Amino acid sequence: MMPDLGKYAFEVISSYGVTLVLLVIIVAASLRRARKVRAALDEVESRKGNHG
């Protein structure tokens, strides 16, 4: 059930849509960055293990 938003329905719904899109982009960017950092950390740790 959707509440009656009156004459501002488009603005409210589009604001929710933009917010959801931005949240998805932020989460995706965070996950991508985490993978890159994890890979770099694994590489540094493997080099440390070979020289230690």
Give tens-digit pLDDT for 1-52: 777 888 999 999 999 999 999 999 999 999 999 999 999 999 999 988 776 5
Task: Check: CB of residue 41 under 8 Å from CB of residue 33.
Answer: no
CA–CA distance, 18 with 16 (Å, rounded to integer): 6
**pTM score, two decimals?**
0.72
Please report the sign of the dihedral spanned by the C-alpha atoms of residue 32, residue 34, residue 37, residue 39.
negative
Specify the pLDDT at position 48: 85
pLDDT at 52: 54
**One-letter amino acid for residue 29 of the chain:** A
Tell me how far apart the alpha carbons of residues 50 and 23 are, in angstroms, rounded to a whole number.
Answer: 41
The pLDDT assigned to 49 comes to: 76
